[in-house]
Amino acid sequence: MSAHFQDWMKSTQQQFEVLLASFLPSTDAIPAKLHEAMRYAALDGGKRVRPLLVYAAGFMFNAPADLLARAAAALEMIHAYSLVHDDMPCMDDDALRRGKPTVHVKYDEATALLVGDALQAQAFLVLAEAQSESSRQVAMLRLLAQAAGSTGMCGGQAIDLASVGVALTVGQLEQMHRLKTGALLRASVIMGAMCGKTLSAAEVAALDAYASAIGLAFQVVDDVLDATADSATLGKTAGKDAADNKPTYVSLLGLEASQALAKKLCDDAHAALLPFGEKAHILRNLADLIVQRKA
Amino acid sequence: MSAHFQDWMKSTQQQFEVLLASFLPSTDAIPAKLHEAMRYAALDGGKRVRPLLVYAAGFMFNAPADLLARAAAALEMIHAYSLVHDDMPCMDDDALRRGKPTVHVKYDEATALLVGDALQAQAFLVLAEAQSESSRQVAMLRLLAQAAGSTGMCGGQAIDLASVGVALTVGQLEQMHRLKTGALLRASVIMGAMCGKTLSAAEVAALDAYASAIGLAFQVVDDVLDATADSATLGKTAGKDAADNKPTYVSLLGLEASQALAKKLCDDAHAALLPFGEKAHILRNLADLIVQRKA
């Protein structure tokens, strides 16, 4: 990865953090405690993979900054809410997230439930409040709702829940991840590009292929890291999937084959970007980053 | 209430039930169990107050049927999701809703959490998938997100949580309800009217006054019923607020003054509708219904 890409990433993350803070309700507004907890859940943490994908895809088509920021914030709020709910005792029961106590540990379960619910509504609000061409905005809101809902992220979590202790095939594991994390990553790439132009079917298909490949690669690498890294490096409890008897790529394929699969998916992602030529270089770098990350 | 209004209400409820079913994901689609639980939570129950308000307000401005149905379904899905989450052990811990076991009792807590999350996304999806004028659609999506979020329904629930065992004034109780249930009732009236036309500021103000009055009346009557009716009639656990040490209008004002307040709010609602003349007769009847209901 070039120093230029590293700089782009760092400055994008920093700018996004400021923008995200501005799109969250203020702690001066009632109810202050709920707003404080929403900000605790969403700010100051995470790699901001979804916002980076939004900006990288938008970069290809000279997308306007305000719409990009709103799309990125909306996607990150959906992601943040899903983590808050996923960490709750009735789901994964996790006490540590991004190196900090999870929301239900820091506050309480009822607050965690409401923080997630309110962050989801806030995601749609931020996007619906954009000053943009209305038909484009409706299309983006539709895509966000699909990606977040029962045939997207929530559906993937339901399949994940049902698969604890069940012997899944690699195909079934892939389908689960395609919904659970893939749907939102795909929405990030497509929505980012849509901020800049109305996409042709061929462009959507190419971006879909890229997003599918990095989405799976992301999960394969997650499983590899869960099996090999420690909690301090990850900022969350390591070895949790194995302890919870959840199927992973490492448990199904072994460590070496999982690493090879991540490499192959990265190559697939690069191949999918060929039609976009040089202007896709940030998306290419992001694919490399996802596969080479250490946490 | 006239026989004509009773007929309108019954046929609107019946038609809405069919439409709502069509807007929920099919149990043939993966994940089937999540979709089954979403349908269990949303279908076959409730008075459908929000959809009735949408249709009654839309009636005044000849709103198109498909957009009305989508607005009504979206609002009912937000309402249904809030009940599912509100009934969970970390919130009100209620086992009975609309005469049936609550979702976390019938399924499990994790499923209840996901059902609520997915119903919220589905609400935005149903509205975003309408074939309508895009700018109107964006305005409606914005209103829905505001009403559902941290300065609307979720905010009201956060205030409600914080007020258990706390001595509230009538003013504070009113503010809580204005968010917790009022925001969604207000959105129902305004969105229903918006389906038919772009509203003037005066029209919004008049509909707001109507919605505020019936929203509070609804809550006052809820408190009266909670103190006077039995669980079988209510289809939920009676006397729960008092047992949970939650402030209510009855505990603050007494039974008689609460009943008088409900009557006054109903009069306020009628007065707010005067500018709309005869075509507001269904909204007028709905105000009467809310105050005179027995469950």
* Distance between CA atoms of residues B25 and A151, nearest Å: 8
Instruction: Please report how the helices B134-148 and B183-194 are oriented relative to each other, as an axis angle in degrees rounded to 10.
Output: 170
CATH of the domain at B75: 1.10.600.10
Strand partners, A97: A100
Nearest to B238 by CA among B255, B252, B225, B251: B225
Going by pLDDT thresholds of 50, 70 and 90, the confidence category of residue B232 is low
* Residue to test with chain A: of B40, B70, B83, B90, most A Cβ within 10 A: B90
Going by pLDDT thresholds of 50, 70 and 90, the confidence category of residue B234 is low
The pLDDT score that the predictor gives to residue B230 is 73
Which of B118-127, B155-164, B269-278 is predicted with the least confidence, judged by mean pLDDT? B155-164
3-class DSSP state of B96: strand
CB B106 within 8 A of CB B40: yes
In this prediction, residues B31-53 reach a mean pLDDT of 95
The pLDDT score that the predictor gives to residue A295 is 77
- Partners of A121 on chain B (C-beta within 8 Å) are 120, 145, 148-150, 152, 154
Cross-chain CB nearest to B91 (options A85, A113, A145): A113
Determine the residue of chain A that is closest to B122 in CA distance: A149
Peptide bond between residue B275 and the one before it cis (omega within 30 degrees of 0): no
Amino acid residing at A35: H
Q: Between residues B291 and B124, which one has the greater pLDDT? A: B124
The pLDDT score that the predictor gives to residue B183 is 96
Are the beta carbons of A113 and B90 separated by less than 8 Å? yes
The pLDDT score that the predictor gives to residue A232 is 66
* Distance between CA atoms of residues A186 and A53, nearest Å: 9
What beta strand segments (E) does chain A contain? 96-97, 100-101
Nearest to B25 by CA among B102, B123, B105: B123
Are the beta carbons of B117 and A120 separated by less than 8 Å? yes
The residue assigned the tokens 């690493």 is A259
- Residue pairs spanning A and B at CB distance below 8 A: 151
* Distance between CA atoms of residues A6 and B263, nearest Å: 66
* Distance between CA atoms of residues B156 and B179, nearest Å: 4
Are the beta carbons of B113 and A38 separated by less than 8 Å? no
- The domain tally of chain B equals 1
* Distance between CA atoms of residues A62 and A49, nearest Å: 20
Q: What is the pLDDT of residues B77-134, one digit of tens each?
A: 999 999 999 999 999 999 999 889 999 999 999 999 999 999 999 999 999 999 999 9
Going by pLDDT thresholds of 50, 70 and 90, the confidence category of residue B235 is low
Q: Confirm or reject contact between B120 and chain A (CB < 8 A).
A: yes
Going by pLDDT thresholds of 50, 70 and 90, the confidence category of residue B242 is low
* Residue to test with chain A: of B24, B35, B124, most A Cβ within 10 A: B124
* Distance between CA atoms of residues B136 and A137, nearest Å: 12
pTM for this structure?
Answer: 0.95
Regarding an ipTM greater than 0.85, the answer is: yes
What beta strand segments (E) does B89-186 contain? 96-97, 100-101
* Distance between CA atoms of residues B220 and A130, nearest Å: 37
For chain A, which residues score pLDDT lower than 50? none
* pLDDT value at B258 more than 70: yes
Domain containing B221 equals 3-292
| Per-window interface: A 143-172 vs B, CB < 8 A | 144-146, 148-152, 154-155, 157-159, 161-162
Going by pLDDT thresholds of 50, 70 and 90, the confidence category of residue B231 is low
CB A269 within 8 A of CB A213: yes
Nearest to A85 by CA among A162, A165, A14, A154: A154
